[in-house]
Structure 1
Amino acid sequence: MISPTEPEYLLFRDLAKQELGLDWTRDKKYLLETRLGPRLEHLGISSFTAYHQHLQQLGSVDEKQYFHNAITTTKTGFYRDKEDFAFFRKKVLPQVYADDFAESSPAIRFWSAGCSSGEEPFSLLFEALEELEQRRRYQKPFDLRILGSDVNTDMLSIGENALYLDHQMEDLPEFIREKYFRHAAGTGRTAYQVVSEVRSQVQYRHFNLLDRRYPIATRFQVIFFRNVLYYLNRPLRQPLLNRLSDYLLPKGWLFLGNVETGYSIPGMQKIHSNIFCKTP
């Protein structure tokens, strides 16, 4: 397998920082070797220097996306960090529904920023639907939509297909599995797919949170931005948090990862170390 030299590693460290804002203060040479070494062999490229030059060429958009997909962290799971979802269920959803059902045509919008393969936005959706079911007595039409965004197109494709293997669903409550999934035949493995009428309520979009403009024309009651900040270059973190807060409605909620603590955001109250609420 082709291995990067130290100067080559530094080239790609700078490229990852420039394009995705990634902080490679810890040695990531192994990541280049294991995830991109086979790619170089497939392309017939003999060194990481030559591959770096290849990425800079005009018309290399598809290969640049392959590079982005290869170096991003994709770990996720249904109901990951259950304490966040417990707070979301007990505190956030009742407030969101109480406020929105006071409107004539309630529109409910959540955003999973850095959604990976879709488990997080679907977890938000399942919780929202379960809470809504308890409020059927209102007999009002509602418009519930969840946005999942990521820079990794491979992961977004998984979310769009909403197809998950049995081991990926181990943390799902049994009644959620039975209610919102159907066995997917013909996959060659034990797999389940989110039912079509439910998965249509999650929309996936590919964009980089470092982009100057986001393809978003709405504001949200809730943004989950968990376990992304940790991987970003430190000077980018606070401006990005400030920017995301602009996409929240008054009284909107922002969730960070459990290890992403110690931040303050103008115009937002810190409720827990990783949970913020926008002032009305």
Structure 2
Amino acid sequence: MARENFSGVLAFVHVVREGSFTRAAAQLSVSPSALSHSITGLEAQLGVRLLTRTTRSIATTEAGERLYINVAPQFEEIDAELAAVEELRDKPVGTIRITSAEHAANSILWPKLSKVLHENPDINVEITVDYTLSDIVSQRYDAGVRMGNQVAKDMIAVRISPDMRIAVVGSPSYFATRTKPVTPQDLVLHSCLNLRLPTHGGLLPWDFEKDGEVIKLRPRGQWVFNSSSPIVRAALADYGLAFVPEDMVLEHIAAGRLVRVLDNWCAPYPGYYLYYPSRKQSSRAHTVIVEALRHRE
């Protein structure tokens, strides 16, 4: 049977269930004559009579009884599933996939979302750590986290952190035999711990700014990593100077395990943004995650 006849089957099921064309038509928001025409068309398509009609009653034929017994429960299952899906519309449930740099995952996503997921046990969050500026649409992520200047113009962007600063740090033991740098140019005399960027294979430049003067360097050193956490570990182990977000090392600085230098050359820079392609068809779970991450002054 062609799919366009499903409406006739639905009409038939409602008429048998209600025992009345008038009541069935009211449920389906159609006229009784339109309902009768639909069933007549179904009978013509099947080549059998489904209903015996009189002025006072409606009864199923043998073929009609068989069709009703086998089909009606399936329509009830469909109705139940549709109702269940409608309930999800306002309930935060489902999996939200986010791609993020390591630092944002550790410093923003984890502390903000860990509490939210306790409060919303039906929400699942999958975080993929990478630096490759993934295409979130083609790779089927729900959202991505990047610096504000890295977000494409056609994306919706929501600020999730304040402006940030870089810290240049080394261990007291490292500085015991070396003079602390006073200007960025002094870094040529130091061993620097570098971060390699997977996006284009190069090393992250060390950017400095003071009184309108901008300096961009690529200092050298023994160690190169592709994430920031081992850079901090190497700095603590006296291997050189680290150029990392300051929140990663503030505790070590306060405890005297690391010493900060070139502080007056480290200007604030834009913080992290959550970005995604469209507000259309946004799930309730997606909305909960966005609002939990949104930065508020």
* Same fold, judged at TM 0.5 (above): no
Bin of the TM-score, shorter chain as denominator length: under 0.3
TM-score, normalised via structure 2 length: 0.26
Q: Which has the larger radius of gyration?
A: 2
| Structure of higher RCO (CA pairs closer than 8 Å, 6+ residues apart) | 2
